């Protein structure tokens, strides 16, 4: 006795509180009201209780002088800067370590994922061993391994390893000459940008010629020459406006130049090696999802093994891989907060660690930090969804 079977709609005869639509609307509203009430109650209760316990509240601390130092700062910061500034320093450090690790983990992960499917028995087994080791060991241990086990073995400053090009390597990090540019550097820089744009234009033109005639003009040497030679000539004509700040060995350690701190290197290496193992599995899954017929077809067209992977398999496999990659990137960004255990000054270490402890305002700090990670995750997801749609559109 379905509604459709009756000649006229039945709902007219039903009392309003038995109407399924009104009912469901009513319960939705009740649910919404309850959720709002719950959150309001939690908020109100927190505020009242903090007040009762004489615990400071609000964001008045934001502009107060921080009074502590941070080992790695991408923006200028000193002990005289504010807690708010310390927040940005921590956030940028988190973004830096996550960004670098995501790029490296993707490269390493794709490589190992492909190697794991290699026909070479030894290579395939080595890739398998890599995946199983790094996937099954807790990330914290991997971080300790790189920080204490590997980088901790570097010599002390007075026995530094001196590499050619004024590079110094010791337990305090890798110290390199820092390029110092004068104002005239803008000319070779502009030349470089112009030449890169020109080169891209030439490559696009070559692509169009290939589409039309089937023969691709050889432009490799021309573009490379433009990008290297022209800016080099401008550089020399501008009077070589570039010098280097060279690290000099002092009483305790080298000073000057720029330093790649062992905390940063350990964290990037740890996150990269750990996440790459997961990405490798995603890549393997993506490739195995493509039917073998695709490989056979491309081989019968005369494509080489490399071309088969690059032009036939990977574009299709990406559709499987990209959604999986998204969650790996989210995990990696959140996992970067483990850096506190090896002294890397990320957001959690600086803000939820030191600032929280100096101000004692745990509720504010933790809320802000959660909001930051939520925002980062949503942005990453949004980007990956956009990328996923782009990859999906390639479908023919």
Interface with other proteins by CB under 8 A: which residues? 27, 31, 34-35, 37-38, 41-42, 45, 48-50, 52-56, 67-71, 79-80, 148, 152, 156, 171-172, 250-253, 255, 262-263, 340-343, 345, 349, 353-354, 356-362
Between residues 68 and 145, which has the closer beta carbon with respect to other proteins? 68
Between residues 150 and 392, which has the closer beta carbon with respect to other proteins? 150
The CB-of-390 to other proteins minimum distance in angstroms stands at 39
Quote the longest CA-to-CA distance of the chain.
97
Between residues 27 and 59, which has the closer beta carbon with respect to other proteins? 27
Between residues 71 and 295, which has the closer beta carbon with respect to other proteins? 71
Between residues 50 and 192, which has the closer beta carbon with respect to other proteins? 50
The CB-of-36 to other proteins minimum distance in angstroms stands at 11
Specify whether the CB–CB gap between 64 and 82 falls below 8 A.
yes
Q: How far apart are CA 70 and CA 175, in angstroms?
A: 18
Between residues 102 and 340, which has the closer beta carbon with respect to other proteins? 340
The CA-atom distances, in angstroms, between 85 and each of 11, 90, 215, 294, 349 are 62, 9, 57, 54, 14
* Residue 284, phi-psi category: left (phi > 0), alpha (psi -120 to 50), beta (remainder): alpha
CB atoms under 10 Å from CB of 320, counted, come to: 17
The CB-of-341 to other proteins minimum distance in angstroms stands at 6
The CB-of-143 to other proteins minimum distance in angstroms stands at 11
Q: Which two tokens stand for residue 248?
A: 């000099």
The CB-of-40 to other proteins minimum distance in angstroms stands at 11
Q: How far apart are CA 335 and CA 271, in angstroms?
A: 8
Q: How far apart are CA 176 and CA 195, in angstroms?
A: 29
Between residues 148 and 216, which has the closer beta carbon with respect to other proteins? 148
Q: How far apart are CA 203 and CA 210, in angstroms?
A: 10
Specify whether the CB–CB gap between 311 and 299 falls below 8 A.
no
The CB-of-261 to other proteins minimum distance in angstroms stands at 8
Phi, psi for residue 249 in degrees, rounded to 5: -65, 120
Specify whether the CB–CB gap between 330 and 381 falls below 8 A.
yes
The CB-of-305 to other proteins minimum distance in angstroms stands at 46
């Amino acid at each position: 006795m379905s509604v459709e079977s009756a000649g006229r709609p039945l709902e007219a005869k039903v009392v309003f509180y038995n109407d399924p639509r009104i009912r469901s609307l009513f319960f939705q509203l009740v649910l919404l009201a309850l959720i709002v009430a719950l959150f309001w109650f939690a908020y109100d209760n927190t505020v009242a209780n903090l007040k009762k316990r004489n615990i400071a509240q609000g964001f008045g601390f934001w502009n107060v002088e921080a009074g502590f130092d941070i080992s790695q700062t991408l923006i200028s910061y000193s002990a005289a800067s504010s807690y708010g500034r310390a927040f940005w320093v921590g956030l940028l450090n988190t973004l830096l370590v996550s960004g670098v690790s995501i790029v490296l983990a993707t490269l390493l992960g794709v490589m190992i994922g492909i190697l794991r499917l290699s026909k070479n028995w030894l290579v395939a087994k080595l890739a398998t061993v890599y995946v199983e080791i790094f996937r099954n060991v807790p990330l914290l241990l991997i971080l300790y391994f790189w920080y204490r086990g590997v980088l901790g073995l570097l010599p002390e400053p007075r026995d530094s390893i001196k590499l050619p090009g004024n590079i110094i390597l010791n337990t305090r990090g890798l110290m390199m000459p820092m390029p110092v540019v004068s104002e005239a550097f803008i000319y070779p820089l502009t030349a470089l940008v112009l030449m890169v744009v020109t080169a891209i234009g030439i490559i696009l033109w070559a692509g169009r010629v290939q589409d039309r005639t089937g023969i691709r003009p050889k432009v490799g040497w021309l573009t490379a020459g433009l990008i290297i030679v022209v800016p080099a000539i401008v550089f020399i004509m501008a009077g070589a406006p570039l010098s280097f700040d060279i690290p000099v060995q002092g009483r305790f350690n080298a000073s000057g130049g720029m330093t790649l701190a062992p905390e940063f290197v350990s964290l990037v290496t740890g996150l990269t090696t750990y996440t790459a193992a997961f990405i490798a599995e995603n890549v393997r899954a993506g490739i195995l999802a493509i039917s073998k017929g695709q490989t056979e077809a491309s081989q019968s067209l005369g494509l080489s093994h490399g071309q088969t992977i690059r032009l036939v398999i990977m574009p299709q496999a990406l559709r499987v891989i990209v959604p999986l990659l998204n969650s790996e990137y989210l995990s990696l960004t959140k996992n970067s907060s483990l850096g506190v255990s090896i002294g890397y000054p990320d957001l959690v270490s600086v803000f939820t660690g030191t600032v929280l402890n100096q101000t004692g305002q745990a509720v504010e700090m933790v809320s802000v930090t959660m909001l930051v990670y939520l925002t980062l995750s949503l942005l990453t997801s949004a980007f990956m969804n956009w990328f996923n749609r782009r990859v999906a559109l390639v479908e023919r």
